[in-house]
Amino acid sequence: MQKKWKPLLLTVLLLLPLLQGCGTAEGGIAVRELNQLNVVMLTGVDYDPKHKKFIITIQSVKPATEKGVAVSPESVYMARATGDTIMEASKNLRAQTSGRLVWFHSKVIVFGETLVKQHVMREVIDFFARNREIRYSSWVLVAKGNAEDIITAKPNSEVMMGYELVGIINNQGEWGRTVIVSLRDLINNYADPYTGFVTGQVKKAKINGKEERIIITNGVVLSALSPRNPIYESTLDKKEMRTLRMFQDFTKQELEFVYSTLLDKKSERKFDTAVQMKVDNRKIKSTIENGRPKITIDLFVEGTILESGAHVDLGKKETVAELEKRIENKVVGDMKKLLVKMQKQQNVDIFGFSPLIHRQHKNYWREHKQHWREIYPNIPVHIKIHWINLRTGMINQAKAGEAR
């Protein structure tokens, strides 16, 4: 009989530390009542250079006490606080709210444009890196203007701006219009003084001259090459953002991009054929020739013709080869333009060349890394596209001269 009680007694002893103080703030597991919480969904950080103050703006929500109840506009709460340091601003923010602020569900962080351009980003990133409540998977955006204006703006279609931004980020990611960096990647990239990185820019824009709406467009190029200088470098438009995705994969699954070209030389249109293209494999390697690095990029791609108004026979190998060549020239041309902008004009490595050389040529990197800013602009990059397949579809194209 005693043997049967031993496992039960052991279980009770193991659970005692958990039961002690349950439901209180002292000892054990402190239970936070739902009506005492403010769940932060969206965080904005600005900086006032005139008064040297940090500004934190949040959008939070009171959790529903019943299961399955949707978030209502009445449960959404805004708060704003300032401080000489980012920590002081966060403490002042907590002092203004009746509920306990929790950041475990915060999914988006917005940095104001002025904040990013000032000399205070290292302090802000350090604050978020040390805060255990903030999720490293949170998306990071840079506002065109003040982050506070984005946080407090009226959502386009959702109940709260936090939901709105997450939805826009997911939709943008599917089409490769921009690149959104996570807080984890932001922390890691900013700690590397030799690389740059890109994240999305959020702003207010009037659609067809009417009501202002929140959109995520372009990409902001950031760099930590010198902590004393602003890390805000420049912006990339949606075409350049699409091109950046050719250099590296930012998502778990390669995206498909649409390129349009003129295939019928007699046509008066600007474009008559659209091809959806996907990178099936990407091989990037570096070599050291005559004491300097060289980068070779091989893209193995496949494509599908989405539409064509060209009066040509797409069943001919010569026509398909010509189409492949035209699309290839477009892609390579765009990639070289972006290289010139980032290498020659901005001198920011957003392509990951420095970690590539570090991995493949450790001795060279150890000896020359201190001169990276002089080396990087002069690295030659050779790009080659290899077509695995180009699907023309099942439609028999009318030949030139045939009646339609």
Question: Over the stretch 141-160, which tens digit does the pLDDT of each residue have?
Answer: 999 999 999 999 888 878 78
Model confidence pLDDT, tens digit, residues 110-129 = 999 999 888 788 889 889 88
Residue 375 predicted with pLDDT over 90? yes
Cα gap 148→164, rounded to integer Å: 15
Average pLDDT over the chain, rounded to an integer: 82
Sheet holding 381-391, edge to edge: 256-261, 273-289, 292-308, 381-391
pLDDT for the residue 13: 52
Residue 2 predicted with pLDDT over 60? no
In a domain, 243, yes or no: no
pLDDT for the residue 26: 43
In degrees and rounded to multiples of 5, residue 107 shows phi and psi of -115, -15
Model confidence pLDDT, tens digit, residues 334-369 = 999 999 999 999 888 999 999 999 999 999 999 999
Give the residue with greater pLDDT, 87 vs 226. 87
- Residues 69, 161, single domain; the answer is yes
Give strand pairing partners of 45: 56, 111
Residue 3 predicted with pLDDT over 60? no
In a domain, 24, yes or no: no
Cα gap 114→143, rounded to integer Å: 9
- Residues 126, 212, single domain; the answer is yes
In a domain, 7, yes or no: no
Query: pLDDT band at residue 218, thresholds of 50, 70 and 90?
Result: confident
- Residues 175, 105, single domain; the answer is yes
In a domain, 269, yes or no: yes
| C-alpha atoms less than 13 angstroms from C-alpha of 305 in its C-beta half-sphere | 23
- Residues 219, 89, single domain; the answer is yes
Domain containing residue 330: CATH number: 3.30.300.210
- Residues 55, 163, single domain; the answer is yes
Question: 58: Cβ–Cβ under 8 A, 6 or more apart, which residues?
Answer: 40, 42, 43, 44, 78, 79, 80, 93, 101, 151
- Last residue of one domain, picked from the residues 236, 263, 294: 236
**Number of folded domains in the chain?**
2
- Residues 73, 215, single domain; the answer is yes
Question: 301: Cβ–Cβ under 8 A, 6 or more apart, which residues?
Answer: 277, 278, 279, 280, 385, 386, 387, 388
- Last residue of one domain, picked from the residues 201, 236, 271: 236
pLDDT for the residue 11: 57
Taking Cα atoms as reference points, which of 361, 397, 401 lies closest to residue 379?
361
- What are the contacts of 311-314 at 24+ separation with CB within 8 A? 311/264, 311/266, 311/267, 311/398, 311/399, 311/400, 311/401, 312/263, 312/264, 312/397, 312/399, 312/400, 313/397, 313/399, 313/400, 314/392, 314/393, 314/397
The enclosing H or E element of 116 equals helix 113-117
Model confidence pLDDT, tens digit, residues 255-288 = 788 899 988 887 778 888 999 999 999 999 999 9
Note whether 223 and 186 are within 8 A (CB). no
In a domain, 265, yes or no: yes
Query: pLDDT band at residue 22, thresholds of 50, 70 and 90?
Result: very low
Cα gap 390→319, rounded to integer Å: 11
- Residues 193, 270, single domain; the answer is no
In a domain, 25, yes or no: no
In a domain, 22, yes or no: no
- Residues 133, 279, single domain; the answer is no
Note whether 28 and 21 are within 8 A (CB). yes
Q: What is the DSSP letter of 166?
A: H
In a domain, 264, yes or no: yes
Residue that has been written with the tokens 């949606």 in this structure: 238
In the chain, what is the greatest distance between 2 CA atoms, to the nearest angstrom?
98
- Residues 155, 80, single domain; the answer is yes
- Residues 190, 114, single domain; the answer is yes
Domain span holding position 229: 37-236
- Residues 227, 374, single domain; the answer is no
- Residues 187, 300, single domain; the answer is no
